Structures are given as structure tokens and as C-alpha cells.
Structure 1
Amino acid sequence: MRRAFTLVELLVVIAIVAMLVGLLLPAVQSARESARRTSCRSHLKQIGLAIQNYEASHSVLPFGWDTHGTLWSALLLPYIEGHALHDSLTFAESGPGSWAAAGPNEDAAGTVLEVYRCPSMSQPLHLNSSFIRARVPTSYRGNGGTQVTSDDTSTIVVPGTRSFEMRDQNGIFYACSRVRLSAVRDGLSNTVFVGESHTDNHFLKDGQSMDYWYLGSPQIDPCRCDGGTGGTEFSETAASFYPRMNLRFHDPTAHGRLMELAYGSYHRGGATFVLGDGAVRFIADTIDLETYRALGSRSGAESFILD
């Protein structure tokens, strides 16, 4: 006579299976996050190589942004297999050159480029923002230096610091910048070029959203390269080493402008950066603030050891 499972035995089996799934699930999630982190490192490695190739071709590093809101990430397109997209852009102050006008520039801002996106980032592929339909958020921003505490000079958070509206920052990417490798006197292995950001378009504090983008920005457009001021939201493409990394999570009371400017990531415990020599490093957010800021200046002559 064939004996079937009793209800008690079936419940025991189900309980054992559930327990095994509970034990395995964290391991699976950890493996997936490890794969995503590796992919993120690979993206930053590609960006670092693209910057080096750009410099080899032009004898200068890409500007952070220019007068019609073109960003450093757009200049790298030919070096990340984006020749066709680069050639479709209109580099002009108005008309088709506007990033918010229907045309190739707006289309480009809505084109998904995997190299500019960390797989761990929990943001939609497309969002409507600043009159750009289906705009694509990014995970990576350029190094704007160590002195910036606001996008606009009129809203500087810490007295004696600077805003991205000002020219001549001590980082790598800023308004109409033309930084040469020879100007990175702290050493390429001691200076960050690009790093991760915890992009979160739905988080708002003190009127500031953690929204970061690539290729172009309508709000940056009024910027001038003649020493004048204008434009805003430069933090869409550049970050500051003045606030500590992952500031939003370490100090929820901090001003939203500082949170917006801070580097961070969706990886626990720190963020990934590419240095001037092309090396990619994961840096813990517990790093000493003085050492951290030293990574953001190109010629501060700081003395430190990066473990």
C-alpha cells in the first residue's frame, strides 16, 4: 500500500524549504550586488580611459560645462563608442543647440548610455526634467574641487567658500575649464577625476533635489566664459569634496545644498572613484575628511596616503 505525506509532514517540508530559501536569498543578493559593483567599476574605468584619450587628442582635459550647457560627458562620446550620437549634437547657443528644444540635443539627453549608469542605481531609465522629455539620469559626476558649497554665489552655505557659478575652481571640471595634466601637481594617482553619486530625483531637501544628468543641461545654459556669472544647477554634472561622502545618510540635518553637492553611491559603506591615472578605487565614507578633500584638489600640495 502506497503511503502519502501527512499534513504534518508536508508542513515540515514546506518549513524546511522556506528556511533554506531564507538562508540562500542573502547570498544570492550579495552575489548580484557584487556583480553590479564590478560593472560600476568597469564603467568608471571606461570613463577614465575616455578622459585620457580625450586629453591625448586635445592636450587638455574636457571642460566641466560651457556657455550652452554642454557637459564634459558629451565631449567623451567619441571615446566611449558614441561617435554617431556626438555627431548628431548641435553645439550652438540657441535654436537646435538648446537642450530643452525638440531636436537632436534633447533626443541625445534621452538616450540611455549604460556607461554613465551604475547598475545598483534605483532610478527610472527616463524622467521628465527641466523641459527635457524622457531625460536619462546619471550615476557619475566630475570632480569640481574642494571649495564649493552651493551652485549659486547668492546661496553659498558656508562663509568663505565658493559656488560653481564662479570660475577657476581647484578641481578638474568646472565652468569652461581647460585643465592640463601638467596642472595636476598633486599627482594623477592622488587626484579624483570622476566619482559616483547617489542619484535620487524624488528626494528633496531645502528646495534641492539629488538629480544628476549627462550630456547637456538647459539650466546651466546661461553660464558665461568671460568671467561673468549666470546659470545654475551645475551640480547636475559636478560634485564637491567639501561635504563628506554620503552626507545625506550620515547627517540628515545637513543643508540640502551640501547634500546635493556630495558624492555618494548605492553601494554600502562608500563610493567608487576613478583617479587621474585611470585607477578605480572604492573609498570608504569613513575616510578622514582632510584626506578626502585632498583627493579633490589638483594642486593643494597635501601630504596623505590613500590606503
Structure 2
Amino acid sequence: MRMTNRSAVAFTLVELLVVIAIIGLLIGLLLPAAQSAREASRRADCMSRLRQIGLASTNHHDAVGAFPPARLRSRVWDWEEGACDSSQPSWLVRILPYVEQANSARQWSLYGRFEDHLPEVRESSPAIFSCPGRRSSSDAVIPSQRMETKVTYPCGCMGSEVVNLVSGAVGDYAGNHGDYTGGSYGLLTDYWRGGNGTGIIISSRPKCRAGEPAGWLDKVRYKDVVDGGSNTFLAGEMHIPRGRVAQVPENGPMYNGKDLTAFARIGGPSIPLARGPEVDWLPNMGFGSWHPGICPFVLADGSVRTVDNEIDTVALQSLCHRFDGEGLEEDNVTPIWGVY
């Protein structure tokens, strides 16, 4: 019987190490590309939702004759006769019929108090109001709670507020209330009072009847957008620091008309765009996204643009202000063509 010697075939240690190194190198090359592709998808989805919010707002304008008011807020002292506002629903409730949420819209009273609505109504969270990649369904609602919060106002002043928070849905998009014109010093000229906003989605004085709101006075129409719809923000992503999603005061119930920064923001000198989610020192009334380097906005003409996070605050102010005579600077704004 003839015997044949067969030498064992195997990889040497050096060959195994080389193969492992090559695999690690390939993973290192492919991982950033995969992450970039995922971020591009999230950004496109987010901008598509902003586009739908913009279309809903313009449809509201066509149906009602004006853009929706951010909320109802009197331009008088709280103790004066004629102040009939409280916590009536925000503008996001008013556009529900135009984002295929007619059933939800019918459950709201536009002139009733936010807290008087059923929890399932207050906590309804349509996907269109959330930016993919920022939150999951588990943090799309903030529960009822009593808490004391520290507040930094645009003037740089520090304060605290005790809040009896009523549960409600939270979101990622805010209407453009304008800039800091009028300040926030407890005066009747404060930017947040009815009719004082310089943006598109502004607080409006209520029409009062028998001590209750029955309409709204300060209506922003296309003719009031002197700078043009293509030069003025309608809405954008609101700045929420990482770790503060579904937390007050940075991200309160978006339907509660008493909590302005939960559904409307401003921009300009002293209120810059946040340069990322790690920024936690800015006042909680500005815009900002979690997309690297940019913040998406929908303009009053329905177009969707991205703005460089490092945009000059004066240029940002001109985009937030509907009648200051300024417009877009191409160095700061990137148009999105043929996608939405």
C-alpha cells in the first residue's frame, strides 16, 4: 500500500493579522460613508416635513385669509380689563386640518384652554411635527408634573419659574416669530405680546367677547410680508440641546399657547443659530438643528432652504423680519431644487 504525504494547509499568524487589518481598514472607510448616507436621509426627511408644514400654513392662509397666529396674547397688563387670553392652543393646532389630521383638529377648541382638553387630545403627536434622528416615540410626549425651572432671558437676566406642567405632545419645529425688536423687559412693547412680532407666525391679540376670546386681531397676510415670501422664514427647526428633548423649558408642550418657545422662535443679534446640539448656553428661544453645519427652514413662499449655522446674526435677523427691507444672501443659504 502506497502512502502519500500531505502537508497541512493553514494561514500563518502574519497572514491572519494582515486580513484582520484589511477588514478593519475597510470598515473604517465604509462607516463614515454609511453614517453620511443615514444623515442625508434624515435631513431630507426632516426638510420634507418642513415643506409640508409650510404648505399647510399657506393653505391656512388661502382658506382663512391670513397665516395662523402663533397664539393669543393680549397687549395689556394681565390685571387690566380686556385681557381674555390664557392658554389657547398654538398655531400647530390650526394647521392640523391641512396635514391630514382633520379628526384630531375636530377635537380641539381653538378658543378653549389647553389644559381643558383630554389627555389623548393634548398628547397626540403627528409624525410631521418631529424631526427624524432627534427623538423616538417614547419622548414625543411630556408628562404632567410640577417643577421649578431656571430661565435665561434674552437680556441676559436669570430667573426661575414654578411650572404646573400639563402633559402634552412635543415637537421639533417652530414658527418664525421674528426678531428681538421690542425686547423682553415686561413692557407692552415686548416682542412676545400680541401684534408685536416681526415674523410670519406671531402672537395675536384676541377678540374678546363676554370675557372670552372669540377671534384674533393681528393677521399677517402676504401683503404684510414686505420683504417677500422668498426672503422671509416661516418656520424652522428649534434649538433643543442634547439631553433636553421633552424637557422644559427647552422643549415644552407644543400645543400649549402659554409656552411660546415650545412652538415659536426668534433670531438675530443676541439670538444666533445654535451651532449644534451640544450648545447649552444659548437662550431657549432660538433656532438650531442637530444636522451637522446647517439648520433647515421653510420660507413663506413654501420653498425649503438650509442655512449655515455660522450665519451672521444681522443676516439672520433680516431673514426673520418680514419688513426690514433685506433678503437672502446666497453665501448663507443653500436652495434645494427639484426634490420637494
Q: SS in structure 1 opposite 2:52? A: helix
Q: Give the corresponding residue for 2:48.
A: 42
Answering whether residue 277 of structure 2 is matched by residue 264 of structure 1, we say no
Answering whether residue 265 of structure 2 is matched by residue 239 of structure 1, we say yes
Q: Give the corresponding residue for 1:228.
A: none
1:294 pairs, out of 313, 318, 330, with 318
Q: Give the corresponding residue for 1:223.
A: none
- Runs of 5+ consecutive residues of structure 2 not aligned to the other structure: 1-5, 73-84, 145-163, 205-217, 332-340
Q: SS in structure 2 opposite 1:272? A: strand
Shift of 1:11: 3.6
1:88 pairs, out of 98, 101, 107, with 107
Q: Give the corresponding residue for 2:34.
A: 28
Q: Give the corresponding residue for 1:277.
A: 301
The change in CA–CA distance for 1:268 and 1:171 in structure 2 (over 3 A counts) is same
Q: SS in structure 2 opposite 1:210? A: coil
The change in CA–CA distance for 1:122 and 1:15 in structure 2 (over 3 A counts) is farther
Q: Give the corresponding residue for 1:99.
A: 114
Q: Give the corresponding residue for 1:59.
A: 65
- The worse-fitting range, judged by mean Cα deviation, of 277-286 and 175-184 is 175-184
The change in CA–CA distance for 1:11 and 1:44 in structure 2 (over 3 A counts) is same
Distance 1:13 1:141 in 2: 51
Q: Give the corresponding residue for 1:125.
A: 140
Structure showing greater radius of gyration is 2
The change in CA–CA distance for 1:119 and 1:148 in structure 2 (over 3 A counts) is farther
Checking the alignment, whether the CA contact within 8 Å between 2:173 and 2:235 is kept in structure 1 is yes
Supply the RMSD in Å over aligned alpha carbons.
3.0
1:172 pairs, out of 200, 217, 222, with 200
Checking the alignment, whether the CA contact within 8 Å between 2:190 and 2:196 is kept in structure 1 is no
1:153-232 paired onto structure 2 within 5 Å: 153-154=185-186, 162-165=190-193, 167-176=195-204, 177-200=218-241, 202-203=243-244, 209-214=249-254, 216-217=255-256, 220=258
- The worse-fitting range, judged by mean Cα deviation, of 78-87 and 117-126 is 117-126
- The worse-fitting range, judged by mean Cα deviation, of 54-63 and 234-243 is 234-243
Aligned length: 275
Cα shift readout 1:17-74 (whole Å, capped 9, x = no counterpart):
1221121111000000000111111011111111111111111110111233311111
Answering whether residue 178 of structure 2 is matched by residue 145 of structure 1, we say yes
Amino acid at match of 2:39: E
Amino acid at match of 2:192: F
Query: Normalising by the residue count of structure 2, what TM-score does the alignment of the two structures yield?
Result: 0.71
Shift of 1:291: 1.8
Distance 2:275 2:26 in 1: 37
Checking the alignment, whether the CA contact within 8 Å between 2:233 and 2:300 is kept in structure 1 is yes
Cα shift readout 1:83-125 (whole Å, capped 9, x = no counterpart):
11111223443xxxx433561xx32332231111111314633
Runs of 4+ in 1 over 6 A off after TM superposition: 247-252
- Runs of 5+ consecutive residues of structure 1 not aligned to the other structure: 221-232
Checking the alignment, whether the CA contact within 8 Å between 1:100 and 1:131 is kept in structure 2 is no
Q: SS in structure 2 opposite 1:295? A: helix
Query: Normalising by the residue count of structure 1, what TM-score does the alignment of the two structures yield?
Result: 0.78
Shift of 1:166: 5.3
Cα shift readout 1:164-222 (whole Å, capped 9, x = no counterpart):
14542211222224211111111111111101113248449xx97321543x217x0xx
Compare the two structures and name the one with the higher helix fraction.
Answer: 1
Distance 2:17 2:278 in 1: 45
Distance 2:315 2:192 in 1: 22
